[in-house]
């Protein structure tokens, strides 16, 4: 089919417009593809960062070492993860007396019971020296090992409400099976021993 100059010129312009349109579309498609690749890379990086942060957060929980009043380190994280124990915990000013009362009552009711006694000292005023507190705990309890939790790590780890004394039966994986709050009574001790079996 023959076209005059004007028609040929129009067709040429039309063809150029189509070519230009196709070129822009191809370029935008490539840009879109590149942006999706970038998003995938960003998602991958985000996934890696998440794994690293989780490992940083979880790792200290599985290996949580605290000291008792004698300066002996105890891997509380491992003990709690293993479970099958009774945790006696108190954040009161009379925490050593609370722990001693509960430990004595439980040991008399069920000799050989695995106990972990923790004095939560997070609320101790900053102007009271640690050495003074440790000396006082040693005087009050010269034989039993009381773990000294200066930062409230145990309650944060297990996720129970502060305000003691509290007695917890811990199952495998640090799962709280039973919780009792308050000072020991014959009824409370019997309930704890029964639930721990």
Summarize pLDDT for 78-113 with one digit per residue, the tens. Answer: 998 888 899 999 999 999 999 999 999 999 999 999
**Total of domains in the chain:** 2
Q: 169 and 184 in one domain?
A: yes
Q: 173 and 140 in one domain?
A: yes
Q: What pLDDT was estimated at residue 161? A: 84
Q: 191 and 121 in one domain?
A: yes
Q: 182 and 101 in one domain?
A: yes
Q: 2 and 70 in one domain?
A: no
Q: Look up the pTM and report it.
A: 0.66
Q: 107 and 17 in one domain?
A: no
Domain that holds residue 120: 65-196
Q: 126 and 85 in one domain?
A: yes
Q: 165 and 134 in one domain?
A: yes
Compute the distance between CA of residue 141 and CA of residue 96 in angstroms, rounded to an integer.
7
């Amino acid at each position: 089919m023959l076209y005059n100059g004007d028609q040929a010129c129009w067709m040429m312009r039309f063809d150029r417009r189509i070519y230009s349109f196709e070129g822009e579309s191809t370029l935008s498609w490539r840009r879109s593809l590149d942006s999706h690749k970038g998003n995938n890379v960003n998602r991958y990086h985000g996934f890696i960062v998440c794994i690293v942060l989780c490992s940083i957060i979880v790792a200290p929980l599985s290996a949580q070492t605290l000291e008792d009043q004698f300066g002996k380190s105890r891997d509380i994280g491992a003990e709690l993860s293993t479970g099958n124990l009774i945790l006696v915990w108190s954040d009161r000013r009379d925490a050593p007396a609370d722990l001693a009362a509960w430990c004595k009552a439980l040991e008399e009711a069920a000799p050989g019971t695995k106990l972990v006694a923790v004095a939560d000292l997070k609320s101790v005023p900053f102007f009271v020296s640690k050495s003074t507190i440790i000396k006082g705990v040693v005087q009050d309890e010269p034989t039993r090992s009381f773990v000294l939790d200066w930062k409230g790590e145990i309650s944060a780890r297990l996720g129970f409400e502060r305000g003691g004394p509290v007695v917890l039966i811990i199952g495998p994986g640090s799962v709280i099976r039973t919780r009792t709050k308050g000072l020991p009574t014959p009824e409370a001790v019997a309930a704890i021993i029964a639930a721990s079996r």
